[in-house]
Amino acid sequence: MPEMDGYEATAEIRRLEEPGSHVPIIALTANALRGDRERCLAAGMDDHVAKPITSEVLREVLSRWVMPVTEPEPVPDPVGEPGLDLGILDSLRAMQRPGDPDLVGEVIGLFVADAERSIARMRETLDAADPEGLKRAAHTLKGSSGNVGAFQLSGLCRELEPVALAGDWERAAALLGQLEVEFRLVRHRLLADPAGHPS
């Protein structure tokens, strides 16, 4: 390479890696000299092969470090009961006048769209270790969840806010996972039956 050799490039890649991420690096050298492999591994590389190389050797080495590409499995309908206060939606429905647009349907549609954006933002800010961004996204979803009676979802957001500000990323990741599961339950129930009642 014109500006740095493989050892320097490896050091720079390792320096730029985010916590929890790892780029597999396999050295390919022109000759199998004694000490080459040890020097490559000491520099932070994961494996070493020397020329001449066969397709069988290359395939075997790559199989150790490259995950196979698989088709994502279909996501089944969520199982369980969401934490919903049905009285909130019933109160909105009582305000509905004949001939007016579907108030409850509009509220649910807005909530689902906003919640999906907030959760995507939470995932982004968690990955970026951004405490303020994660806290704000959780706060936004906390409010909109309360508006549709999703009290358990709102509670998880409330619990996540101080955890985000404390920078407890392991706990934040666990809470976000619970939050995503609860949101899928809420969304499934509301979209399957806008009244929020079991069908």
From first to last of its 199 residues, what are the pLDDT tens digits of the chain? 557 788 888 888 888 888 777 888 888 887 667 777 788 888 888 888 887 777 777 778 777 777 655 555 555 555 567 788 777 777 777 777 777 777 788 888 899 999 999 999 999 999 999 999 999 999 999 999 988 889 999 999 999 999 999 999 999 999 999 999 999 999 988 887 544 444 3
Q: What pTM value is reported for the model?
A: 0.56
Domains and CATH numbers, the chain: 6-65 (3.40.50.2300), 86-192 (1.20.120.160)
Q: How far apart are CA 87 and CA 134, in angstroms?
A: 30
**Under a CB-based contact definition with an 8 Å cutoff, are residues 76 and 151 in contact?**
no
Helix (H) or strand (E) holding 125: helix 103-127
Q: Read off the tokens for 115.
A: 């919640």
Peptide bond into 52 cis (omega under 30): yes
Task: Tell me the chain's radius of gyration from C-alpha atoms.
Answer: 25
